[in-house]
Structures are given as structure tokens and as C-alpha cells.
Amino acid sequence: MAATEPAQVIDQFAKFFNSGDLESLMRDLYEDDAIIIPEPGPATVSGKPAIQEVLTAFLNMQGTLQVLATTAVVLGDVALTHTRWRLDIPGGDPIESVTAEVVRRQPDGTWKYAIDNPWGGAVLDAM
């Protein structure tokens, strides 16, 4: 199921991630020329093949993703979203961060990531 509201992109991401559904992640949640920040820092990768590699590495951790808090600011066909998330990894320390993403309404009315930054910063801490 595709996201019909900006915040649903985040909910769908968690659903597909936790079920290991890489195909739905890629098909339903990312624009063809989207970018992702693969790790904390300035490096980006773009396009679905590169994003798939990044997501595969996360999926291979076999963790469970929890969405702890979310906000979305919408202006027309573009939205800025922030999410506080936690990835519980079996036998390892959890990973936590706050995202900063840009999602865009598609011609069919669904929303997809244009920019996915899972390491977006402490924006929610100031709320």
C-alpha cells in the first residue's frame, strides 16, 4: 500500500522494513532519482540501485525498527518530515537517531521520498 499522506511514508517504511520487504520499500517509497544519506556525515547516494544497497545493509542487521515520534510540515506537493527512530538489533546495541526527509506528492497522489536522511539531527529535541 502506497502512502497517501506524508507521515504515512514513515509508517509504511517501518512496516516494510520490519517485514523485510525490500521490494515494497523501493517500489512504494522512493522516487527513481531520490537520494539517501547512508551514514552520519555529508555523503549521499542517489538512485534506486544505490538506495537498495543501503537499505539491504540495514535489513541484514535483522533489527526491529520502532518509530518513536514523527512530525510533517506540508507545503503543496512537498513535505519535510522528521522522525525519531530506534533500531533494536539482536545481540547488539540499538541504534537511535532523528531523521530529516523531504517527501513529494507523486502524480498519482501518493507520497515518496525525494531525500531520505535517517541521520537528520536533533530537530525533535527542540520541540
Query: What pLDDT score was predicted for residue 126?
Result: 32
In a domain, 50, yes or no: yes
Q: Give the model's pLDDT for residue 7.
A: 92
Domain count, the chain: 1
What local confidence, expressed as pLDDT, does residue 44 receive?
86
Q: Does residue 33 sit within a domain?
A: yes
- Residue 123 belongs to some domain of the structure: no
In a domain, 52, yes or no: yes
Mean per-residue pLDDT over the chain, rounded: 91
Range of the domain at 21: 6-117
Tell me, yes or no, whether 49 lies in a domain: yes
Structural domain contains residue 41? yes
Share of the chain above pLDDT 90, in %: 84
Query: Distance between alpha carbon 6 and the CA centroid of its chain, in Å?
Result: 11
Query: Has residue 17 got a pLDDT over 50?
Result: yes
Q: Residue 127: inside a domain, yes or no?
A: no
Please say if the pLDDT value at position 47 is more than 90.
yes
Give the CATH number for residue 94: 3.10.450.50
Query: Which residues, listed in sequence order, are joined to residue 97 by a DSSP beta bridge?
Result: 85
Cell of 83: 522522525
pLDDT digits (tens, 9 = 90+) for 81-107: 999 999 999 999 999 999 999 999 999
Q: Is residue 97 part of a domain?
A: yes
Residue 72, C-beta contacts closer than 8 angstroms, at least 6 positions apart: 5, 6, 7, 79, 80, 81, 103
Plot region of 62 (φ>0 → left; ψ -120 to 50 → alpha; else → beta): left
Place 42 in a pLDDT band, splitting at 50, 70 and 90.
confident
Task: Give dist(CA 68, CA 87) in Å, integer.
Answer: 11
Res 27 pLDDT > 60 = yes
